[in-house]
Amino acid sequence: MSITSRLAARLGLRDAESSTGSEGTTPAGVLPPSRGRSAGVTVGDATGLSAVYRAIAIWATAGSQLSVDVWRGTTPIDPQPAIVRKPDLSMPRSAFIELSITSLAGHGNAYWKLSRDDRGAVRTAQVLDPRMVTPLTSIQDGSTVTGYAYQGKTLTTDEVQHLQLLRMPGRSTGLGPIQAAQAELRGALDVQDYAEQWFDRGDIPPGYLSTDKPLTPDTAKATKEAWYEDRKRIRVLGSGLKFTPLTLNPKDAQWVESQNLSALKVARMYGIPPRLLLVSLDGSSDTYANLQDEDLSFVRWALAKPLREIEEAWTEITANGQTVRFNYDGILRADTEKRYTAHKLGIDAGWLLKSEVRAIEGLPPVAGIDSPKPAVQPAKDLGELSAEPTNEPAAIAGSTE
């Protein structure tokens, strides 16, 4: 039973959800969550929900901490191209990645404004505000993009790299979680607003007076006026009147169940393990193995999509033959013991060098660490030592100095 239903039952009123126009079901000036509202939910509205903000922050935090590798075939490139090393000269590369991920997570689209040199090579990229970019499509085909409108200017497709979170047939823009789950987010926002209004603007009575004897309207009015005449005096009850305080327990007052349900929906929207949003599923048990499986599933089936979109966009604007890839070790790294065991297995098997292990662990290089150690000669026994010739003159028996 909902909070409103429990309060209505205690007051002897009908449930607010099943009654229309009845007074007293909700505090004055407070509107219950509407089931027919169709107002759109903006990214700013959605991030007003702590679960949405946290979900987007998790995506951004996980992606921005990863290192980036550039390959030509199977050979890593060092130093990396400038467009990968520092795509936007005004910010670190991690900030550039973060802006791209939050654009995809919030709007379903990210736009890079490209700056090219005289030969057409991309030198820098700037993440544009997706709210200010409008794809321009052809009249014949509404999904074919011919350019982009940005701040009163028209940018060509060569000037913009368009990243999309989820592509749908017939759409020129990507579909993000906030755009796809408008109804669920609107419901969560309505519940949040309703809870705030209940305490901030509502006229919640401290309790109610009841009696099992007949009570005329005039007597009820007089009793009410006498009760509120002097709030500091001792109340005297008569005629079978009984005062019942009207309070909410802390769980109901914070709308815990509704907030947890909203957080679980957001976790589903972004493919994030619920525990990262500080909620849990009933009956679930967290073990070390389960947590590792959840983290791996999150990377594979949720985070991999925006990261793959950035990888392909980066690869497309770098020189031919070069491939840009994120190194997932930063978020899939096991604990210290398991990492060291894995390193030793690789070194013993011969497919991993000690210098590569130091690079993986972020340690400085050591000269000659991969050079084979000189073979150690076995120690000679005493018999072999006594048989060796010596340059010392042999002693003559019976001789004296």
pLDDT tens, 167-205?
A: 999 899 999 999 999 999 998 898 888 777 766 655 566
Does residue 393 belong to any structural domain of this protein?
A: no
pLDDT of amino acid 22: 37
Domain count, the chain: 3
Domain annotation covers residue 395 = no
Residues 152 and 226 in one domain: no
Q: So what's the pLDDT on residue 329?
A: 77
Residue 106: how many other CB atoms lie within 10 Å: 25
**Structure confidence at residue 29 (pLDDT):** 43
C-alpha distances (whole Å) from 366 to each of 69, 78, 242, 356, 357 are 22, 19, 85, 11, 11
Q: 306 and 230, same structural domain?
A: no
Which residues neighbour 260 within 8 Å (Cβ) at sequence distance 6 or greater?
279
Residues 311 and 279 in one domain: yes
CB atoms closer than 10 angstroms to residue 281: 12
* Mean pLDDT, all residues of the chain: 80
Are residues 76 and 188 both part of a single domain? yes
Pair 119, 228 in one domain:
no
User: 295 and 282, same structural domain?
Assistant: yes
Separation of alpha carbons 138 and 140, rounded Å: 6
**Element containing residue 361 per DSSP (H, E):** none
The pLDDT of residue 190 is 87
Between residues 206 and 31, the one the model is more confident about = 206
In a domain, 110, yes or no: yes
* Percent of the chain's residues with pLDDT above 90: 47
Work out the burial of residue 222: count CB atoms within 10 Å of its CB; fewer than 13 is exposed, 13-18 middle, 19 or more buried. Answer: exposed
Instruction: Note the pLDDT tens digit of each residue in 282-327.
Output: 656 666 557 778 888 999 999 999 999 999 999 999 988 899 999 9
Instruction: Say if residue 44 is in the same domain as residue 160.
Output: yes
Name the DSSP letter for residue 164.
E
Domain residues for the domain of 351 are 334-370
- Asked whether residue 301 is assigned to any structural domain, the reply reads yes
| Res 26 pLDDT > 50 | no
Nearest to 82 by CA among 96, 63, 100: 96
With tokens 């919640």, the residue in question is 204
- The predicted pLDDT at position 363 comes to 86
**232 and 198 within one domain:** no
Q: Where does the pLDDT of residue 259 fall: very low under 50, low under 70, confident under 90, or very high at 90 and above?
A: confident
Structure tokens at 306: 């925006």
> Is 218 within a domain?
yes
